[in-house]
Amino acid sequence: METLNDRLDKARKLIEEGDFFRILTHYDVDGVCSAGIVALYLQENGKKFHISFFRNMNRDEILNIVQNEEYVIITDMGSALINELNGKVIILDHHQPPGDSNKVIHINPHLFGYDGAIEATATTMAYLLADNEEYAHCLLAGMLGDKQYLQNIGPVGLNKEIINKLNIEPRFDMTLFGNIGDALFYSVEPFYVGLSGNREGVKKSLNMLGIDPGKHISDLTDEEKVRLGSFLSLNLVKHSKIPEAGKYIVDLDFEIRGSIRYLTELIDAACRTDNQSIAMAYILGEQENKERMEVLRKDYRAEVIDEMYNMLNTLKETKYIQYFYTKSSYLASTVSSIATLYLLNPSKATLALYIGDNSINISARLHRSMSDKVNIGKIMNKAAREVGGRGGGHNVAAGANIPVDSEKQFLEIVDKEIEKCISSK
């Protein structure tokens, strides 16, 4: 049986053989970072390439490209189409595959004993392919962007093995950047009710704490950090249904050419606003794009904050689901993730629905405390198929696309399937 290294060697040999490669990737941080590493690796080896980004995995378009291009590399997607792909194709994915194939070079952690939901991203696979420590910042950004670590614990699985080998020390700190006033105003992870998006709330609270809103985070004294940390922890405890929420003022970060978490936020903002090319150009060396991403970060976070308050005001609940409607498809996954991590009932699945012209896009999240009982990816797949749509994903993060006017039936199926899972445990 082939090992992970065997597959990686095959992929490198195929890359040696070709001159031009078509790279197809997902639109998010893991997609951009994995494709970015592949692009850097191709440049390093004197190869040419063209990158295409996909918000949703368009089966027909992907199959058409594969049929018409000699060499194709697919990152952060592709495993779902494994039974339909053949040719000089490399897949670097981490989503649960329906199987394996010897018709392409299929590199997925699930095939080699690792959980692709928490232990290895597509960027992890790309990093192993390139095997270059210079790309470690992309590896870490992909991991943080895909939330592949345990809160207040850090990386696990293959991610941890690589980080240990690189001798990179993780650190835990408040996830705030820049001056404290702006940092709190634009904070979405965590989302602080009454502070995020509320200038007056921020100013009033900081005055009460005796902290200058214009002071840079790095210039806070230890005493100010303690005061601020205690205040923010109480905010989370007050507004969250998650028992351990108060601990989430601190999160994982790494220091390589600056904060990796901040880099992740910049790339994420570019991705979510369909400016992936700006983030990709930055990864490939155009440093001036950082300023453009910083503007996108603020604009995007302002949208997320508005949608978070809308979610809190319009949330609906069934026995095992908490759901809401979003005004745009690209906000659905972000808001559902934040709500699940920091605010809503951890015993229920969180679903964000966006009604488009021809279909309904759904983003589903499950708190990790439920992952031993429920696989939301499998449930989304089953429920979507039953109403004539498509769905799937990981055990704690998934999505679906269903026909318009079918959401009531879809939600009922999801609710019943979760109940079956819970009652059988």
**pLDDT tens-digit map of 80-113:** 999 999 999 999 999 989 999 999 999 999 999 9
Q: For the chain, state the CA radius of gyration.
A: 21
User: What pLDDT is recorded for position 330?
Assistant: 80
Same fold yes or no, 4-142+154-166 and 315-424: no
φ, ψ (nearest 5 deg) of residue 22: -95, 120
Check the CA dihedral 23-26-29-34 and report its sign: negative
pLDDT score of 425:
65
Alpha-carbon gap, residue 7 to 375, rounded angstroms: 28
DSSP 111: G
Residues of the chain with pLDDT under 70: 425
Determine the topology of domain 172-253 in CATH: Helicase, Ruva Protein; domain 3 (1.10.8)
- In this predicted model, what pLDDT tens digit does every residue of 131-177 receive, in sequence order? 999 999 999 999 999 989 887 789 999 999 999 999 999 999 898 99
The CATH number corresponding to 315-424 among 3.40.50.300, 3.40.120.10, 3.10.310.40, 3.50.50.60 equals 3.10.310.40
Which letter, b or e, does each residue of 127-166 get, where b requires 16 or more Cβ atoms within 10 Å of its Cβ? Answer: bbbbeeeebbbbbbbbbbbbbbbeeeeebbbbbbebbeee
CA dihedral 250, 289, 274, 150 (to 10 degrees): -20
pLDDT at 167: 95
pTM for this entry:
0.88
If 0-12 CB within 10 Å is exposed, 13-18 middle and 19+ buried, where does residue 423 land? exposed
CA distance 369 to 395: 11
Q: Which CATH number fits domain 4-142+154-166: 3.40.50.300, 3.90.1640.30, 3.60.70.12, 3.40.120.10?
A: 3.90.1640.30
Structural domain spans, the chain: 4-142+154-166, 172-253, 315-424
* Tokens found for residue 399: 């999505």
Dihedral Cα 111, 117, 122, 126, nearest 10 deg: -70
Q: Cis bond leading into 109, ω under 30°?
A: no
